[in-house]
A = this chain, B = another copy of it.
Amino acid sequence: MLFLLTRVNTLSLVHQQVPCMPTKRPTQADVARAAGVSRATVSYVVNGLANSQVSISRTTYQRVQAAITELEYHPDARAQSLRSGGATNTIGLLLPDMHNPFYWKIASGVEQEAQNAGFDLLLFSTSLNAEREEHTLRALARRQIDGLILNLTFPGRISEALKLLARRHNPVVILGKPVPNLDAVEVKPGYQEHAHEIMAHLFALGHRRIGFIYGLVNQEIDAGRLNAYREALQMFGLPMDETLVDRCGATLADGYRAAHRLLACKPRPTALISLNDLLAIGALRAIHEQGFTVPRDLSIVGFDNIDMAAYLHPPLTTVHYDANAVGHEAVKLILARLKEPERPVQVIQIPTHLMLRASTGPVLES
């Protein structure tokens, strides 16, 4: 056995070479020839039309089947869908970021529901890159997919996606802010109300200085969320202190650093609101490192209720949002439109609610 070092970090073992037979993929014609029938007959057998439309003699049927298994024939999906002018049994999913558990859950929901309906999933992540998003949309246009589920980072492109695909009479579902004439599953609807609810909760616990971990994949886009909190602050007569808003990225590390910065503010905020749970997890680490105890010294609130939220120490107060359901509903919308193309546009909201857990508590009198 020969050892070979391929790359700095990677040890690779090269086994003895086995010459693969360059076996050509068998075609319908090969099967027909092997079975001594015509190609049409093979098609009938494969598609199970044997019993309904056309009838095939028992013996021919078996001969064909035998040839199929013998040759390991599998029909070419490209040719099938090309010829029969339609379904590719594929739906596309475009997500902004694969690092946040929130999006995995959406993807997972989509995958499950799609599988159940017999569709395969083509997954793209734009990674916050506008060019890539555009490129992906273009790729999606050539590819014949039966439906597309979009969670765009750059809403400006929505019109393009719409043009490219919806016009082709292809079901498109938007995840996020609904767009005219397209089915949608609203992502995090009622953000406003929950911002208010969270604020009310913290206010009631005595919090007056509240920090924001405003970590977004793209700062420009979701400015609306901050406004929700601005308004909520106002309703409780609290001033908006911009130094308490930390604008950062959307990773664990961003949450960690943001919390460090916010904790350095004087006077120290007594509560932190984090745009999502992932950031909150990062923040929790920073808080613990500085020797603070949650919620005694500091309260923290997340958003999304990712699976881990309930398992953190302390369990995280957050807004529950069923990301899995988003995926399921999105696929259902696709299926519904596939079945009935002219149905009215539908927007689905997944209910959300505040989950009070142990990460929020009263302000310590001192």
A binding-site residues for B, Cβ under 8 Å: 6, 9-23, 25, 72, 74-82, 88, 90, 98-99, 101, 104, 107-108, 111-112, 115, 120-125, 127, 132, 138-139, 141-144, 163-164, 166-169, 180-181, 252, 256, 281-282, 284-285, 288, 307-308, 310-313, 315, 325, 329, 341-351
Grouping DSSP codes into helix (H, G, I), strand (E, B) and loop, the A interface class, with mixed when no group exceeds half, is: mixed
- 28 example contacts (A-B, Cβ-Cβ < 8 A) are as follows A6-B346, A9-B350, A12-B346, A12-B347, A13-B346, A15-B346, A16-B344, A17-B343, A19-B342, A22-B169, A23-B167, A23-B169, A25-B168, A72-B164, A72-B167, A74-B138, A74-B164, A75-B142, A76-B144, A77-B143, A78-B78, A78-B88, A99-B108, A120-B143, A281-B311, A284-B313, A285-B310, A288-B313
Question: What residues on B are CB-neighbors of A351 within 8 Å?
Answer: 9-11
- Interchain nearest-CB distance for A349 vs B (Å): 5
Inter-subunit contact A313/B312 (CB<8 Å): yes
Report copies per complex. 2
- Interchain nearest-CB distance for A99 vs B (Å): 7
Inter-subunit contact B256/A284 (CB<8 Å): no
> In the docked arrangement, what's the CA distance between A75 and B9, Å?
41
Question: What residues on B are CB-neighbors of A167 within 8 Å?
Answer: 20-21, 23, 72
Inter-subunit contact A344/B78 (CB<8 Å): no
Inter-subunit contact A98/B88 (CB<8 Å): no
- Interchain nearest-CB distance for A278 vs B (Å): 8
* Residue in chain B with minimal CB distance to A336: B6
- Interchain nearest-CB distance for A93 vs B (Å): 9
Given contacts A11-B348, A14-B346, contact A139 B120 (CB under 8 A): yes
Given contacts A168-B23, A346-B12, contact A82 B72 (CB under 8 A): no
Inter-subunit contact A132/B111 (CB<8 Å): no
Inter-subunit contact B325/A311 (CB<8 Å): no
> In the docked arrangement, what's the CA distance between A16 and B347, Å?
11
Most B-side CB within 10 Å, residue of A18, A122, A142: A142
- Interchain nearest-CB distance for A150 vs B (Å): 15
Question: What residues on B are CB-neighbors of A139 within 8 Å?
Answer: 120
Question: What residues on B are CB-neighbors of A108 within 8 Å?
Answer: 98-99, 125
- Interchain nearest-CB distance for A23 vs B (Å): 5
